[in-house]
Amino acid sequence: MPETNGTEADSSGPRPGLRLELQAIDLDRDGHGLARWQGWVVVVPGLLPGERAKVQLQQRQKSRWLSRISERLDSSPTRRRPPCILAQDCGGCTLQHLEESAQRNWKQDQLHQTMLRLGGIDHPQAPALTDQRGLGYRNRGLIPLRRGEDDRLRMGYFRRGSHRIVNLSRCPVLDPRLDALVEPLKQDLDASGLSADHDLSQSQGLRHLGLRIGHHTGEVLITVVSSQQLPALQRLAQQWIERWDAVKGVTLNLQPRRTNQILGATTTVLAGAPTIRELFCGLQLQLSTTTFFQINTPQAERIVACIVSWLSQAELAGPIVDAYCGIGTISLPLAAQGHHVVGLEINPDSIDQARSNADANGLGARTEFQAGDVANLLKETLATCSALVVDPPRRGLESSVTEAILSEPPALLAYLSCDMATQARDLKRLLQPEGPYRLEQLQPVDFFPQTTHLENLAFLRRVSS
């Protein structure tokens, strides 16, 4: 069918207010519909691929136009009623209006297209490891707070494209054991009368409520993020510890700076313990307020099991290097299988936790953790290692890290990524014909149902020097 019926279109081209009839052909990374008109990309929030709608252009952003739907003309067979009543407004989830099987199909297609377009990689991928729960999978939440002009506390995630809170009393993607705490904690903070402003634009005081649970242990850690010390929180913290057996600790994290970084450098205990226990791949871990730990515990265990299995099939003469090791969630399961592992991480607090976790599990003799710049540490460790595991942040591998790998390429390389675009860019440099590696397997894993995010694991084997 034509891209538009030209209800108001003419040869003058796009302009704000222009009304068009468009059909979505894809989704963008925010879950918005994408259509084309006269060579322009038009973003249509709320439209699914295959659906037609009457839209009005609103604003140009570089090579694309933003629009809004005035009337949706048909519905995709994969459209559904979102499980959460706030899904249309809340920016926490972006695909709740799409059936979960269709979400998975779209994500896998995006991975294929991204690898092909940005990496020149046309390689079959294994079926994604999926989480059949769909909801209730998040073991952690950091929820913004603000007290309104009516003196009522509002708590919730931001409306899409803004810093305005969508007020909530429950969140169905949170672990149900955390979700049950949201409303009573909100009521207590509201009744306290404490000022609250998540971005400090109007006042000091409360900023975020943090909830964390050990998926396997059920232990809960509550964190209140504030710009200042608030003595009234001590009484509330003690009440929470006494009210809920699962709550093992309540902490106060101070973040006085106006920044998008939610957590500050200082955390103190208000009641109970500073950490909770979690079992991960059969190992004991301690999780604190600031510990980085995968949001979806069972999926993280599955992907670590894939890495352990793949590396254990080879005869490794030297140690395994785990770059960006965090608190040891990959290093320790590898060590538990008998491998010697060297973990590298820039965050010294994470390294301290990794060492503590290794000792607690009797793995101190088979692990070594080093804090510092990953590229520099790799130059010192790659010459003697037999395999490398990398799990970098969203920006992917720094060029200096890639250069270090290319200068001393280990026989095996496992690359776990939370951003398929940066991973495709990095793999293009590592794989033949320019690089020393051959791609053996792509294993996507869906950590975040109801969102557009997909993590991907690539297994590489060195075939040249």
Question: What is the set of active-site residues?
Answer: 418
State both tokens at 122.
Answer: 């046309």
Q: Where are the beta strands (DSSP E) in 273-429?
A: 276-280, 283-287, 320-323, 341-345, 367-371, 387-390, 412-417
Q: Rounded distance, CA 217 to CA 375, Å?
A: 36
Q: Rounded distance, CA 310 to CA 146, Å?
A: 48
Task: With CA atoms as reference, report the closest residue to 141 among 98, 101, 175, 95.
Answer: 175
Backbone angles phi, psi at 117, to 5 degrees: -75, -45
Radius of gyration of the chain (CA): 24
Question: 98-101 long-range CB contacts below 8 Å, 24 or more apart?
Answer: 98/31, 98/48, 100/134, 100/449
Question: Measuring CA to CA, how many Å separate 20 from each of 1, 10, 439?
Answer: 14, 10, 45
Whether cis (ω within 30° of 0) applies to the bond prior to 82 is no
CB-based contact 153:196 (threshold 8 Å): yes
CB count within 10 Å of CB 170 equals: 16
